[in-house]
Amino acid sequence: MTDPSHPLPLTPPASLGWLPFFEEQREPHEADLAPMRIALVHRSRLSALSEAGPVALALPVHTNTGDFAVGDWVLVDPRTRMLHRRLDRRTVLERRVEGSRTLQPAAANVDTLFVVTSCNADFNQARLERYLALANQGGTNPVILLTKADMAADGDIYRRQAAELQRGLDVVTVNPRLPEAARILAPWCGVGRTVALVGSSGVGKSTLVNTLAGPGQARPQETGAIREHDAKGRHTTTARSLHAIAGGGWVIDTPGMRTLHVGGAEDGIARLFSEITELAPSCRFRDCTHAHEPGCAVQAAIADGTITPERLTRWRKLLDENHDNTPAPAGPRGRRGGG
């Protein structure tokens, strides 16, 4: 941590991903506040990275740390280290809080979301689609990372099945244990850029964080062999955190996002299933559900093999779940998209 008796520098650290988008949000009276990036979110504390290093922030009373995400930009009093305010996010990955419709930010200002899956029983198109919907919705570019291809009989099958999940989707095979993983992922990393990792437990996320951090670094993340549950079977409170990448840029591991419930992601789902969504205007009925109606362009695409029935089923299921998890907007209109 930085020496609390010294004022912190006011220069926004460009290497941390500071952009004109954030600069433009600073009001004239905020010129003597220091921009910093949230690096760690705990139940009762926040730490941030400044030009001078890590800073434990002083929080105003009634601050809810759950409103902040790793990757957020905040303005801080350089003398007292008191948090002043959070700047608007360029992108945000939000997950639904278990048992409620509330969305909680898990990572902010992420450029690329690496959706990690191994080439084994973990591979599941429906689950990958959830992560893609989340990335699309938050304005983040998704890339699928296939791990453990070295242990699979035929990695190409997984590659093909991943590539067909979204038009133009990048799919990369990578072994997180090898140093060359950093070179393979370099096109998405680099100075000022931020990537985040999501995926099931055991697919290699923490190993990848360590590899990206580079040799000679204290291993930032515990991997595989270490128990991920405490004696009661709950997840240990592994905090989400921001780690420097050796070749420049930042990586966020998101241990809280193993199971994913989609809510408020209608646009992200539409983009994910664009081959279905784009056909809808060609259906005879404007409100076609693509289930049983005559003159349905989507059913025609299924009949000629362009779209698989499984894909249509997954689209419908995700859309239904999203609807159930999305708070109805306030106002007399009621249901979202109605009228």
Residues at the interface with Zn ion (CB under 5 A): 283, 288, 290, 296, 298
The candidate with the shortest Cα–Cα distance to 36, out of 97, 93, 82, is 82
Half-sphere exposure of 106 (CA within 13 A, CB side): 27
Q: Which of residues 177-206 bind ligand GDP (CB under 6 A)?
A: 177, 199, 201-206
CA dihedral in degrees (331, 333, 336, 339; nearest 10)? -160
| Min separation Cβ 253 and ligand GDP, Å | 7
Residue 187 per-residue DSSP state: G
Count of beta carbons in the 10 Å neighbourhood of residue 187? 11
- For 54-72, b/e burial (b = at least 16 CB within 10 A) is ebebebeeeeeeeebbbbb
Binding to Mg ion by CB under 5 A, coded x per residue (else -) over 187-216, reads ------------------xx----------
Residue 290, contacted partner among ligand GDP, Zn ion, Mg ion, none, CB below 5-8 A by kind: Zn ion
Residue 176, contacted partner among Zn ion, ligand GDP, Mg ion, none, CB below 5-8 A by kind: ligand GDP
Residue 148, contacted partner among ligand GDP, Mg ion, Zn ion, none, CB below 5-8 A by kind: ligand GDP
Cβ–Cβ < 8 Å for 22, 46: no
- What DSSP line would sit under 21-75, residue for residue? HHHTT--GGGTTSEEEEEEEE-SS-EEEEETTEEEEPB--TT--GGG--BT-EEE
Structure-block tokens of residue 219: 């291993």
Report d(CA 287, CA 37) in Å as an integer: 45
| Min separation Cβ 177 and ligand GDP, Å | 5
Residue 224, contacted partner among ligand GDP, Zn ion, Mg ion, none, CB below 5-8 A by kind: ligand GDP
| Min separation Cβ 203 and Mg ion, Å | 9
Residue facing Mg ion at closest CB distance: 206
Cβ–Cβ < 8 Å for 220, 210: yes
Nearest residue (CB) to Mg ion, 26 versus 258: 258
Nearest residue (CB) to Zn ion, 198 versus 288: 288
Indicate which single residue of 112, 140, 147, 211 sits in contact with ligand GDP (rule: CB under 6 A): 147
Residue 296, contacted partner among ligand GDP, Zn ion, Mg ion, none, CB below 5-8 A by kind: Zn ion
Structure-block tokens of residue 42: 């705990």
Q: Which helix (H) or strand (E) holds 329?
A: none
Residue 150, contacted partner among Zn ion, ligand GDP, Mg ion, none, CB below 5-8 A by kind: ligand GDP
Report d(CA 33, CA 41) in Å as an integer: 21
Nearest residue (CB) to ligand GDP, 17 versus 199: 199
- List residues binding ligand GDP (CB under 6 A): 147-148, 150-151, 175-177, 199, 201-207, 223-224
Tell me which residues touch Mg ion (CB under 5 A).
Answer: 205-206
